[in-house]
A and B are shown apart, each in its own frame.
Chain A
Amino acid sequence: MLSSYLTLAAILFCIGLYGALVKRNAVVVLFSIELMLNAVNLNLIAFAKYGAAPSLTGHIFTLFTISVAAAEAAVGVAVLIALFRSRGTVNIDEFDEMRR
């Protein structure tokens, strides 16, 4: 059963990775990052139950990941709103000041 959970997490992670690499809308890139974080959480919980030494440490780590993801989403959305105010777009191809 453990390998099924790990495979599902791998599928989710790869879908998220593809979205983060391909999508041009910055909000959608944030969605994809959330997908990848969720895949990691599934791995942590699966190992907490089916690992060699089951324990609650995986649950604690998942709680930490969820809180850090919440902070990341809040700051990400705030940065997007600030960028949208100054540039009028959320297309990540246009945010390239650092490259010039």
Chain B
Amino acid sequence: MLHLDITGEFVAFFLLSVVMITGAVLTISLTKVVHMVVSLAAVFLGLAGMFVLLQAEFVAFVQVLIYTGAISILMIFGIMMTEHRAEGTDPVKPLHETLAAVAALSLFGLLFFAIRASDFPEPAPFPFGEDQTLEIGKLLYTGYLIPFELLSVLLTVAFIGAIALARKEAG
């Protein structure tokens, strides 16, 4: 059974999850694509709040910078460069939609019962509350140095590739 002890974390979690789920549902169900981006940005901000709640402040700020800042703007550019008056209304295919809904709901049921059934060990106290950015930097430059450098190569390749793809061809 659920046992509810109303703590500050629980209240914050509840509010943020309401924001996130509402944003996600609106992202799927709104008709104008630009409105969808705004509700998606609400989801990203709510997730940043969740990260603060989980004592991941550095990741929270990266989330705000990259997701709510960069990716939302990129998506807005994508909309403007394609069909900016696009309505999300499509010819409805009831069978396809029902099958997709059944698939998503059954996946959720599976995950939900798996989460409910598993019993997690009592967590040890989280020791990285202070100087977290320092610790993350140390980890990135020692244990995860090679993935980190590979990631920079990946980013360079991806952005040069994006420029080459989206450039107007001469003539």
- What residues of chain A have their CB less than 8 Å away from a CB belonging to chain B? 1-8, 10-19, 21-25, 27-28, 30-32, 34-35, 38, 41-42, 45-46, 48-57, 59-60, 62-64, 66-82, 84-85, 89-91
Q: Please name all residues of chain B whose beta carbon is closer than 8 Å to the beta carbon of A1 when the two chains form the complex.
A: 9-10, 13
Q: Could you tell me if B115 and A78 are in contact, using CB atoms closer than 8 angstroms?
A: no
Contact with A along B74-117 (1 / 0, CB 8 A): 11011101110010101100001100110111011001100110
Give the distance to chain A from B93, nearest Cβ to Cβ, in Å.
9
Q: Is the interface of B mostly helix, strand, loop or mixed?
A: helix
Instruction: Say which residue of B21, B74, B135, B154 sits within 8 Å of A11 (CB atoms).
Output: B21
Query: Which size bracket describes the interface of B in this complex?
Result: 35 or more
Q: Could you tell me if A73 and B125 are in contact, using CB atoms closer than 8 angstroms?
A: no
In the complex, residue of chain B having the shortest beta-carbon distance to the beta carbon of A24: B90
- What residues of chain B have their CB less than 8 Å away from a CB belonging to chain A? 9-10, 13, 17, 20-21, 24-25, 27-28, 33, 36-37, 40, 43-44, 47, 50-51, 54-56, 58-59, 62-63, 66-67, 70-71, 74-75, 77-79, 81-83, 86, 88, 90-91, 96-97, 100-101, 103-105, 107-108, 111-112, 115-116, 120-121, 123-128, 132, 135-136, 139-140, 144, 147, 151, 154-155, 158-159, 161-163, 165-166, 168
Q: Please report the C-alpha to C-alpha distance between residue A95 and residue B36 in the assembled complex, in whole angstroms.
A: 23
18 A-B Cβ contacts within 8 A? Answer: A27-B33, A28-B88, A30-B75, A34-B40, A42-B50, A46-B54, A51-B123, A52-B121, A56-B136, A59-B132, A62-B59, A63-B140, A74-B158, A77-B74, A77-B166, A80-B78, A81-B166, A89-B83
